[in-house]
């Protein structure tokens, strides 16, 4: 009789049913893990949603195995958490460098332009982290200048949904930019 340890592991073909089974089975665990390290509900949810979005987008090329799928998903969440920490450290370092180079020059136009460039870069990065619909509503509002009614008609959603998505987007961006100096 052949040794069972020599059999190839059971591969998982990701189709719609398998995807939803993985989602139902692991979403809560991955969310709790992300929340433990980030202490931010929204950020933890986004990380897990991004992971499952990535999983679905790569379903045809990704090779998962039954005995290692949980480890793969946990490592993927940890990697995304590490990326968040890295981004935060980079932002903090930029701000410290900025303050060191420009201390005492509060009214300098160049300083304001540099700060604006950092701010614009970080806002763009944060907008990219928003869920798809939330991002679309934000861009139509802030970039295209559409009002809530026009956005609702454009995206075929209610005006209340537009308001909720804008609030969610602005709160997320505001939270992500809390390290920037305010004009108060």
Average pLDDT along the chain, 184 residues, taken 10 residues at a time: 54 88 94 90 92 91 87 92 83 77 61 78 86 89 88 90 90 81 55
pLDDT recorded at residue 1: 44
Domain definitions of the chain by residue range = 9-90, 120-178
What is the distance between the alpha carbons of residues 83 and 20, in angstroms, rounded to a whole number? Answer: 26
pLDDT recorded at residue 2: 46
Write the DSSP string, 65-112. ETTTHHHHHHHHHHHHHHHHHHHHHHHHHHHHHHHHHHTT-TT-HHHH
pTM over 0.85: no
pLDDT recorded at residue 9: 64
CATH of 9-90, one of 1.10.3470, 2.40.50, 1.10.1740, 1.20.1330: 1.10.1740
Asked if domains 9-90 and 120-178 share a fold, the reply is no
Region 120-178: CATH code: 1.10.10.10
Contact criterion met (CB below 8 Å) for 68 and 39:
no
Which residues are CB-neighbours of 176 under 8 A, at least 6 positions away?
122, 126, 129
Write the DSSP string, 8-39. PPPEE---HHHHHHHHHHHHHHHHHHHHHHH-
Q: Please count the other Cβ atoms lying within 10 Å of the Cβ belonging to residue 108.
A: 12
């Amino acid at each position: 009789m052949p040794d069972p340890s020599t059999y190839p592991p059971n591969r998982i073909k990701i189709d719609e049913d398998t995807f939803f089974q993985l989602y139902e089975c692991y979403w809560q665990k991955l969310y709790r893990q992300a929340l433990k390290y980030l202490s931010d509900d929204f950020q933890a949810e986004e990380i897990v949603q991004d992971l499952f979005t990535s999983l679905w987008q790569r379903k045809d090329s990704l090779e998962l195995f039954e005995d290692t799928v949980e480890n793969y998903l946990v490592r993927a969440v940890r990697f995304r958490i590490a990326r968040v920490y890295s981004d935060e450290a980079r932002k903090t370092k930029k701000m410290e460098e900025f303050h060191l180079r420009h201390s005492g020059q509060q009214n300098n136009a160049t300083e304001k332009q540099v700060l604006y460039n950092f701010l614009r870069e970080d806002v763009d990065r944060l907008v990219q982290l928003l869920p798809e619909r939330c991002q679309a509503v934000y861009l139509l509002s802030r970039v295209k200048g559409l009002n809530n009614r026009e956005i609702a008609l454009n995206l075929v959603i209610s005006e209340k949904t537009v308001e909720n998505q804008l609030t969610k987007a602005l709160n997320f961006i505001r939270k992500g930019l809390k390290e920037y100096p305010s004009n108060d």
